[in-house]
A and B are shown apart, each in its own frame.
Chain A
Amino acid sequence: MIYKLTYTDKEQALADLKAKGILVEVEFNEEKHEAFGSGVQAVVEIGLIMLTPPVMEGMEVIEEPIYADGYHYDIMSDNTYDFGANLVEPKNPKHAFAGHSVKEEFPYEPQFLTDEN
């Protein structure tokens, strides 16, 4: 299952992902590093989502970029989680997993052959 998540900032996101066992701390030979929890296929840090790029002249910024609210992650996991208000359903996602649908499906209204064709 794919979860699209929005948090206030990166710190809040990491705290929630660790609390849910999506990110876990692993110790090997007295060194610790972060790994995915059991059943988690991917954790993708999307970060800030830029809605409007900066306006530039040469490399001089005339207008600063505009960002969507929040700090964003996508999760793919076999497990079921309750993310509450952090779970979002964007209509035009800025991130996808390879081989999985990016956009909403078209309404299905087929047009078939008529007798005149």
Chain B
Amino acid sequence: MSLLDTASLIVTPNGYKEGKLYSVIPSDGSGDLSVTRATTATRINSASLVELVPYNVIRYSQEFDNASWSYYQATITPNVITAPDGTMTGDRLNQATGTGGNVVYSNETLSTGNITLSAYLKLGTGSFGAVSLYDGSWKNGYFNLTTGAVHYTDPGVTASIQDAGNGWWRCIITINSVSNSVTTNVGHVLNTGEFGYIWGAQLVEGSTAKDYQKTETRLNIPRLDYSNGTCPSLLVEPQRTNAVTYSEFFSTANGYNYQNASQSGSSIVSPSGLLAYGITSTTSANDFHRYYKTLGGRSGVNTTTIFAKKGTSRYLGLGVNQNGSTGNNNVVVFDLQDGVIASNTYGVTASIENFGNDWYRLVHTFDYGTGGTYADICVHNTGTSTYTINAFQTFDSPSSPTTIYVWGLQMEVGSYATSYIPTTSASVTRNADLVTKTSATALIGQTEGTLFVDAYITGKDSSNGSILFATDKVSSGALIRIIYTSTNALRFDVFDGSSFQCLISAGAYNVGDRVKVAGGYKNNDFVMYVNGTQIGTDTSGSVPATDTANINTSIYGDTNGSFVNAAALWKTRLTNTQLAQLTTI
């Protein structure tokens, strides 16, 4: 029997569904963690692309009797036929009051540009299937479900149909949407008394239908993120808001201002697999070549990020300012060819992260102090690293028009960047990820035990540090946890509700470090191991009872972030030899 076989709880980024992360041990469901975020989010998928979680924008995508759907001249009889996935979840759509178009419909929000709607339809007693989108005008596609052919499309609609077996057809339309809010239609063209079958509606960004992804609320899906390699980590983050509207569409119509530069057409693939725009300098004068966006007032520490790729220029300057003031000297110039900071005259906290395919995410952190009434984000096509700074301004003299490519602008309150939050006409908040197992007394050692976590460290906000894994109890205030502290140490501590019974802390670990940390506890016998090495012991203290296991949070309400590869509990204090073995990288 291996050491892992003796654990009372093991959680890895493996099986999941909306609102739930399945435990590996126990495997009977008694160790499954609940996942709550109440918003969608993004992740890096296995193809290294930024992706919405879930990418299917439609809610309750195969439950057309759910209240999120509305009905036009139709009623639904749910779960009456075998669906394309073999489950008895296919619905019957019945003609109700009128003829010629009998559908379910919903309103959805997503970016302008190419979008693709698909649905599985099967002939009942009618003739044609209908799949349509409204973005200010109707864009219809009609499908012959007898022959498996596209029957008719409105102008601006690209349609296709795929055989899904057993009489089901996947009917697909793509339009170039001009609205951030669209209405979807899925259904059949029916006469009096007729019916057809429907299942699996999906709306995605881009011109590819993508594999069908079942959804319910869409809001509480664990994020399996591939930022750190070919094996996924569970990405957990605090609440953050992207204050920048139209974060991917930098046009003047969307409130962006250009100086001696213009927006180039979308011509290359963005980090999300869609299209990105360029900034092209329009003069050779020694002056700004930039765009900027004005936001409402900011205060405290804010982190600004943008994805960028070299074009004919390899240098991008990123800076922020407040109230048009000249007092905020903070432009950082990034080299998009070598992936380094080319110039950071003012010592700003900044970094550059390689996202593949020559894309980089540029990070710039600035303290607005007590704040102002408005703020600007400035993105400069500096053309060269040997630029001239006039106060906070970045000038250069390109010999000819040059271009850089940009995508995904974000400004968030906080000292470090979190995952990208797309926006359209409004700022957008992604809530904190809460991954919790309540009523877990049977899984947690009450008088002795071991906590273990394998994670990549992300940032932490200054005061609270970042909890990696914890058990706690609301009624007593007791807490046993592994935390990345505000001073960059790793700490194992045990708190009985009024005082620390154990506090072992050491090391200086950096964002991006992978750490395997274990804390063993027993009355007057506490120990902490990190990456195979004993960090410290404590021979005085008692063990409080706890009943809840948490990734990323505790009863004290402090939520932070990390990439978790595994978390585990034992109901015994493992031996030092076992702890060393467990934590060896």
Known contacts A50-B296, A59-B324, A105-B181: A98-B425 contact under CB 8 Å: no
The smallest beta-carbon distance between A70 and chain B, in angstroms, is 13
Task: Choose among A53, A54, A103, A106 the residue that contacts B425 (Cβ–Cβ < 8 A).
Answer: A103
Task: Return chain A residues, CB-CB under 8 Å to B430.
Answer: 98
Task: Please report the C-alpha to C-alpha distance between residue A42 and residue B297 in the assembled complex, in whole angstroms.
Answer: 21
A65 to B500, CA, bound (A): 51
Give the contacts of B483-527 with A (CB-CB under 8 A).
495, 499-500
Query: Is A111 a contact of B140 with CB atoms below 8 Å?
Result: yes
Among B89-97, B126-134, B347-355, the stretch in contact with A: B126-134
Question: In the complex, which of the residues B70, B463, B558 contacts A108, with contact meaning CB atoms closer than 8 Å?
Answer: B70
In this complex, the interface size class of chain A, counting residues with CB under 8 Å from chain B, is 35 or more
In the assembled complex, A83 has its CB within 8 A of some CB on chain B: no
Nearest CB in chain A to that of B298: its residue: A47
Q: Is B295 an interface residue (CB 8 A)?
A: yes
Tell me, in angstroms, the Cα distance from A67 to B373 when the chains sit together: 9
Number of interface residues of B (CB under 8 A): 68
* A50-B294, A106-B107 given; A28·B556 CB < 8 A: yes
B234 to chain A, nearest CB (A): 18
Chain A residues with CB under 8 Å of B427's CB are 46, 94-96
Q: Are B431 and A41 in contact (CB under 8 A)?
A: yes
Chain A contact residues, majority secondary structure = loop
Assess whether B41 is interfacial by the CB under 8 Å rule.
Answer: yes
In the assembly, what is the distance between CA of A14 and CA of B72, in Å?
Answer: 45
- The verdict on A94 contacting B426 (CB below 8 Å), with A35-B556, A48-B296, A54-B374 known, is yes
Interface centre among B152, B241, B500 (most CB of A within 10 A): B241
Chain B positions near chain A (C-beta within 8 angstroms): 36, 38-41, 70, 72, 100-101, 103, 105, 107-109, 128, 130, 132, 134, 138, 140, 142, 152, 180-181, 183, 185, 189, 218-219, 239, 241, 255, 257, 259, 288, 294-297, 321, 323-324, 326, 373-374, 376, 392-393, 421-422, 424-432, 463-464, 477, 495, 499-500, 556-558
List of 3 A-B pairs having minimum Cβ-Cβ separation, nearest first: A35-B557, A112-B101, A99-B40
The chain A residues found within 8 Å of chain B, CB to CB, are 24, 26, 28-29, 33, 35-36, 41-42, 44, 46-50, 53-54, 56, 58-61, 65, 67, 74, 76, 92-103, 105-106, 108, 110-114, 117
